[in-house]
Chain A
């Protein structure tokens, strides 16, 4: 039996009831959310349950929604079942004041650097991570640059007199 999005959703709801929510399907990928404390339990279930078998972590990244009060930071997991060839998107959101998420490194070695990158750019604190430090930016940096509170330079600004960059 081929694995379908409906079956995954059914299975998850059966196991976790109302702790999983916001099911939707964009461009063929089932996505859903849960609370941040549940992330390891869910990933473990998706990994271990024989009829699901999401054993490959394709991608892990952060997103910042400054307007979602109390859930400003989101961690998005893209999982893949190679045998059934089906993808899944799972996300958890945390408040910017206390951005704590459990690490997935125990399940997936690949999560190590992806979590470091997410920490580096969004300041999400992955609890239990073996080596949570900056990876692409300099260690001395004291802010998290991909958060929306750091805008890029306004391209229409005229106060700069910098002939080297063609703005003179």
Chain B
């Protein structure tokens, strides 16, 4: 099952730029970016048991930093990317100190509040961020002299990034550290009694998730060549969270599937279904009622049931 899905994905991913029009290639690039973002959020939600409603902070801050560094301060893309990621990670480290004082709904609210503060600053400090007009006129980097301007080039770039992100995050959660993270999620007291430091484990995960959120943000701003405070808004955070849950939090492929679903409903189905917001809501309702733990676990269950029946 897993291998079939993987082979199918590989075939589609390799062929797509050759058979599909620019619009679909661009749509796929956006899917990769959304998938990286969802995967990073899932480290918190699925593996750490920390439901964040402020993950757009990292995407937005990395994007803003990159935009500011390249336009206002005249840095090259390489240096700007480095500064953006370092800045985002530093911010995640600091936010972690505050947010991890709470759990459950408190954690959700404090992450929401932190991201709202950033949104407010981006909106109000128009002298720096250009406020509601956003920052336009951005460029894409040209790593090793290869231009990313064409849809296909950017597609390969974001696909590569998505694969690296997926592998890195898979290694992270499959490692001994990942096991202790799941331990902290399920049995924090027992883990503490066993000599682990639950707070430290959560904090490291929080920062690591922030790092990948920042990477998604860089790709996001390269893709859009424009950045606006809405990228920091609760709506962006909520969309990612809904994708993670719908796809199946705590699984590796789930968030990517969920993010793809949300993105396709929003950016593709909306051309055909006028009431796409309602459709989105109905799809969520349907998923929870039919597959309460998400699409990927639901399909796995279904597949294993079909597998067993003949034998």
Q: Do A and B bind each other?
A: no
Interface residues in chain B, defined as those with a beta carbon under 8 Å from any beta carbon in chain A: none
